[in-house]
Structure 1
């Protein structure tokens, strides 16, 4: 009786040893390589999306600054506008904007203006908006 139990137990142990299977080193390496390839594709796309978002933030800042300058002149102001003077009119520089510069024409010439903005993106893209046009790439 003990002998039959020992044989059954030995048979069961040998079956368990055969059923235990895992991943081979080659299979694990293939998975790691595939994950590396996917990361190499995804990271540049993600960085490009960040730059696009920063550029969009600068465009929004420049559009807001244009509205603030028009409001400033509509209130009868004659002095050249500065960023500090535009704050009461709703302008506030966002974190995506590196710098903003306002250029105005001499007084009495219909108050034309141009606003430059530089993005904090990796390429430091420059945008401008003028009194008679929308936001476009370039300098004043």
Structure 2
């Protein structure tokens, strides 16, 4: 009698099939976990600027329109080009010092009459480009998830805020869909 020392073709195909099924389930879950972790960085940046804006309001009676006015130390840089040119997500800015850039994201102060004191932070590249988080003091005074509806986003509608952040749809404001976060 001869002893078999290898695997049959069927056994190898079953192993490859099982590995493929596991990968099909695990990769999307891994990607979702990575984006949730990255979003924590964006939320932290917004919350830091919110606290600085509130302190500025208490001291001056108005909101800051530039980062130079805020008492905050963020590890972010001014964009290399002017805000209008470097702002790929078409965020409203009030000047070159009202926008800061991190790795793959922008944080923007908006002190226009319609959105005085509001803050937005969005991804500038990747799967969720032009989606992120915002804060407006007058209406909700809480962090909200925002998705661009002006044609600059790279994800499907509701994929970021509802799918990833479990947000509840709110109002559509100036081509930005807002979602309340849990």
TM-score (norm 2): 0.52
Distance 2:37 2:20 in 1: 26
Q: CA separation of 1:128/1:67 partners in 2, compared to 1, >3 Å: closer, same or farther?
A: same
Among 10, 14, 22, the alignment partner of 1:30 is: 14
Give the superposition deviation at 1:70: 1.8
1:103 is aligned to 110
Secondary structure, aligned partner of 1:89: coil
Residue 153 of structure 2 corresponds to: none
Larger relative contact order (C-alpha < 8 A, sep ≥ 6)?
1
Normalising by structure 1, we get a TM-score of 0.65
**Match in the other structure for 2:133:** 127
Structure 1 or 2, whichever has the larger Rg, is 1
* Whole-Å separation in 1 of the counterparts to 2:103 and 2:142: 19
1:6 aligned residue:
none
Once the two structures are TM-superposed, the CA of residue 118 in structure 1 deviates from its matched residue by 0.4
Number of residues paired by the alignment? 118
Q: Rate the CA distance shift 1:134–1:101 in 2: closer, same or farther, 3 A.
A: same
1:79 CA displacement: 7.7
Is 1:137 matched up with 2:145?
Answer: yes
| 1:117 alignment counterpart | 121
Task: Quote the residue 1:51 is aligned against.
Answer: 35
* Alignment gaps of 5+ in structure 1: 1-13, 107-111
- Larger helix proportion, structure 1 or 2? 1
Shift of residue 98, structure 1, vs aligned partner: 1.0
Query: Post-superposition shift, 1:32?
Result: 1.3
- The answer as to 2:66 corresponding to 1:61 is no
Q: Aligned pair in 2 of structure 1 residues 96, 55: CA closer, same or farther (>3 Å)?
A: farther
CA RMSD of aligned residues (A): 3.0
